[in-house]
Amino acid sequence: MSDATASPPATGRSADGPGRSARLTRGIGAQIRSFVRTPLNLLLLVALPVVVVEGYGIAMEAFPHLPGIQTESLVAMGRVNGAIYAVAFFAGVLGLFQVISARQADRRLGLCGYSRLELFGTRLLTVIVGCLVITAASLAVLARTTTITAPLSAFAGLALAAVIYGAIGMLVGAVLPRALEGSLVIVFLVDFDDFLSSGMLNIDTAVLSAFPLHFPHRMVRDAVFEGAVATGDAAGAVAYALVALLIAALIYARVTAGGVGQ
Amino acid sequence: MSSLARVRETLAMGLREYARTPVLVGLLVVLPAYFVGVFVLIAPDTTVPLTIDGTRTTATLIAIYGALLVPTVGALIGGIAGLFVTLSATEADRRLTIAGLDPVELLAARFSLVAAAGALGVAVATGVLAVTVVPADPAAFVLAGVLCAVIYGLLGTLAGLVVGRLAGVYLMLLAPMMDIVFFQNPMVEDAHWVASVLPGRFVADLAIDAAIGGSIALDPLGPAILECGAIGVLAAFAYYGRITA
């Protein structure tokens, strides 16, 4: 690789073509255009939060108040859980299919000179954009029916839940690059994690903090009902997100070593 | 070759394909074991009231959720398998139809494959649950789980054909948990009307009856089989239309 490519000029172009930032932007743009080109994807972005948030609220309407559940309104708690579930499973599946569908294309892009870091960065940033959009949509749906005492903190908690599962989805996609196997893993992980972390069962064990949605659930519940988020929960969620992203990056780099997608 | 032999051969080919992907078979064993095993390990052993056949009684949370999680496992596996098995087989089945194979035979083989994946998941989940809570009627309980896997497998097929892969995965991820664990939960005394129109209604009743009630009433079993047949006809028409188009 030439020096000009290694240190792209400020214009974002090198003698060999566009610079790293331009290539990243172009890659993300292409991914987003590919997503937006399917109208059903856009419909899902709008419909999923509504169905999940309201569906959870309705499901909890007639639920008995089990001992140990600390909430005044089970419906509101159901909606909050629905919002977290919506962002987590949307991001998980998005991350999974980003990696699975990108392997062929990435192999060719690798031959064209894209580095593994750039390719992972493109996929990751696309997933993060998706995470932020679904987080905003879910929060908006939740805010229609539920008073959110600390909206920014709630947004942060939901976004962290989405990023954690976006990274897990990418990780699963890198390890299990077939749609059937990858989807099975994501489906079981998200459903079970959300079920146990939601606070509906009053589970008292340290094992629970190992579940990806444990801290985001606590963050969002506190942000919505209490108006303040415990530092430990926020730190736990951020740490989980960073570790998940790091592991996803390492595994992605490993499975694409010696030729992207191989 | 007779019709039955052709179905058997197509099914055997599908099963051989499963066997050639040990990761998939491993996941069909590990994921249900993880799902039910971790739950029974950490769930509180609280006794709560519930309604079975209109009668209020009590049971532990582990028994109640264990009875709901096993059919949920079947539904999750069936739904995802139904979605991908049929989507991935569509092109091959179209060629086989042109080559003279009866579409109905192909449908029977594909759906049997989905049912087999669901049955394996349900069997593993029931085995893991039985370490802590043995269902009162294990055979009926497994039947409920397999029926649930088939119903959601057919729905997964329909979802894949109608809304496509990505939206289908979202549907099959969301629907089983909300339907069976939340809407069909027997702890709810006065269920929302939505619960009565969801596909897990009868099979969840069947699973609760078999796990906790210890009996299997014809009331949920008959409608569950009818429901399975009705969704099967819809899925068959959709798949038939796709492979003969």
**What ipTM goes with this model?**
0.85
For chain B, say whether A226 makes contact (Cβ under 8 Å). Answer: no
State whether B27 and A185 contact (CB < 8 Å).
yes
- C-alpha A28/C-alpha A34 separation (Å) is 10
Taking 50 as the pLDDT cut, the residues of chain B under it are none
* pLDDT score of A262 more than 50: no
* A191 close to B (CB below 8 A): yes
- Which residue of chain A comes nearest to B175, CA vs CA? A52
Q: Is the pLDDT of residue A8 over 80?
A: no
User: Over chain A, what is the mean pLDDT?
Assistant: 83
What number of other Cβ atoms are within 10 A of residue B26's Cβ? 11
For residue B136, give the 3-state DSSP assignment: coil
In which residue are the tokens 């992980």 written?
A: A189
Mutate which: A181, A207, A213, vs B, most B CBs within 10 A? A181
Chain B hits for A84, CB-CB cut-off 8 Å, are: none
Selecting from A62, A192, A194 the residue whose C-beta is nearest the C-beta of B190 gives A62
Give the model confidence (pLDDT) of A63-107 as tens digits. 777 766 667 788 899 999 999 999 999 999 999 988 887 776 777
**pLDDT value of position A122:** 84
- Flag whether residue A47 sits within 8 Å of chain B, measured between CB atoms: no
Q: Which residue reads 């592991």 in tokens?
A: A247
**Interface check A59 vs B, CB under 8 A:** yes
Question: Strand B55-60 relative to strand B47-52: parallel, antiparallel, unpaired?
Answer: antiparallel
- pTM for the model stands at 0.87
Question: Could you tell me if A201 lies within 8 Å of chain B, comparing CB atoms?
Answer: yes
Mean pLDDT for the stretch of residues A3-7? 37
Nearest chain B residue to A176 by CA distance is B23
pLDDT in tens, B35-74: 999 999 888 888 888 888 778 888 898 999 999 999 999 9
On the question of pLDDT at A12 being above 80, the answer is no
Q: How far is CA A186 from CA A27, A53, A88, A229, B129, in A?
A: 25, 20, 10, 28, 22
* Contact between B49 and A59 using a beta-carbon 8 Å cutoff: no
Q: Which residue of B has its CA nearest to A175?
A: B23
Write down the mean pLDDT value for chain B. 88
Of A24-38, A187-201, B188-202, least confident by mean pLDDT is A24-38
Nearest-10 crossing angle of helices B61-98, B218-244 = 30
